[in-house]
């Protein structure tokens, strides 16, 4: 297994749509310090689903990217954070392991605003030492070809080839792979969509690997 040091990313938040039986990556919320602006980026696979619904009426699915007014969070997100005047506010924070004095809205959303009245769940993002070596290690460990890995995760084989050769630092592809590596439930969901494109032995090994990783993530005290 890959062991990576992790730290909380205070500028990013993953958003999942959770039904009774399935959790799907819907998008991510990013805060740009330089622009003092928030941006919602819908996941391309999510918006193509028949049952896809927007996070809010003013954050429709016709646009992949939505930018907030400078210095302001989207109202639909802000509504998920309890008022500080709420008598239980301090208890909410302590229960989630954050300071009641925390001002970062991304952090507040990822902890005390994680679940709300809607079917969307907000998850904090933890930065890892994910790198090219992690991709190579996985392929070597599971004997997965570039072709199968590219097809499994719906990325271009040429892009993966250039990344592995150190000829490209395609940030979008690396970010997507990083999500799969750190959120095995998302990887397993993706494999359900694209698994039919790859050799069944490769699919079995990938499913077994990410299922094992998911189980260990759910088991307290297990290092993954």
Last residue of a domain, one of 100, 127, 154: 127
- Does the pLDDT of residue 224 top 50, yes or no? no
Domain boundary among 83, 99, 127: 127
Residue 126 has phi, psi (to 5 degrees) of: -110, 120
- Both 103 and 139 in a single domain? no
The answer as to whether 108 is a domain residue is yes
> Domain for residue 223, yes or no?
no
Q: Are residues 59 and 156 in the same domain?
A: no
- Specify the length of the chain in residues: 224
Domain boundary among 110, 127, 144: 127
| CB 30, CB 38: distance < 8 Å | yes
- Over 80: is that where the pLDDT of 4 sits? no
pTM, two decimal places? 0.59
Residue 79, classified by CB atoms within 10 Å of its CB into exposed (0-12), middle (13-18) or buried (19+), is middle
pLDDT surpasses 80 at 129: no
Spatial distance between the Cα atoms of 180 and 183, rounded to a whole number of angstroms: 5
Q: What is the pLDDT of residues 190-211, one digit of tens each?
A: 999 999 999 999 999 999 999 9
Q: How confident is the model at residue 25 (pLDDT cuts 50, 70, 90)?
A: very high
Same domain as 122, residue 195 = no
Report if residue 95 sits inside a domain. Answer: yes
Instruction: Supply the range of the domain harboring residue 57.
Output: 7-127
pLDDT average, residue stretch 80-107: 94
Token pair in block for residue 216: 């260990």
> Do 168 and 203 lie in a common domain?
yes
What confidence tier does 8 reach under pLDDT thresholds 50, 70, 90? confident
Residue 114 sits in the same domain as residue 11: yes
Q: Residue 34 — φ and ψ, nearest 5°?
A: -60, -40
Residues 92 and 112 in one domain: yes
Tell me which range, 134-148, 157-171, 172-186, is most confidently predicted by mean pLDDT: 134-148
**N- to C-terminal Cα distance for the chain?**
6
Average pLDDT over residues 164-176: 85
139 inside domain: yes
* 222 falls within a domain: no
Q: Which residues neighbour 101 within 8 Å (Cβ) at sequence distance 6 or greater?
A: none
Three-state SS letters, 117-155:
CCCEEEEEEEECCCCHHHHHHHHHHHCCCHHHHHHHCCC
Number of domains present in the structure of the chain: 2
State the pairing for strand pair 65-67/23-32. unpaired
Q: Do residues 91 and 159 both lie within one domain?
A: no
For residue 219, what pLDDT is reported?
57
Is the per-residue pLDDT at 222 higher than 60? no
């Amino acid at each position: 297994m890959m062991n990576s040091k992790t730290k909380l990313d205070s500028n990013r938040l993953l958003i999942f749509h959770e039904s009774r039986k399935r959790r799907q990556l819907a998008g991510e919320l990013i805060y740009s310090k330089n622009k003092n602006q928030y941006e919602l980026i819908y996941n391309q696979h999510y918006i193509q689903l028949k049952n896809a619904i927007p996070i809010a009426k003013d954050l429709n699915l016709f646009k992949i990217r939505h930018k907030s007014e400078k210095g302001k969070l989207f109202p639909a997100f802000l509504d998920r954070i309890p008022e500080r005047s709420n008598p239980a506010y301090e208890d909410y924070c302590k229960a989630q392991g954050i300071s009641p004095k925390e001002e970062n809205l991304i952090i507040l959303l990822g902890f005390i605003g994680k679940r709300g009245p809607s079917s969307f769940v907000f998850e904090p993002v933890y930065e890892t030492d994910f790198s090219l070596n992690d991709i190579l290690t996985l392929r070597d460990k599971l004997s997965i070809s570039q072709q199968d890995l590219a097809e499994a995760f719906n990325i271009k084989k040429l892009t993966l080839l250039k990344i592995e050769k150190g000829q490209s630092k395609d940030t979008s592809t690396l970010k997507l792979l990083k999500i799969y590596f750190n959120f095995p439930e998302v990887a397993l969901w993706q494999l359900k969509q694209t698994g039919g494109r790859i050799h069944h032995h490769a699919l079995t090994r990938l499913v077994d690997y990410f299922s094992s990783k998911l189980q260990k993530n759910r088991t307290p005290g297990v290092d993954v």
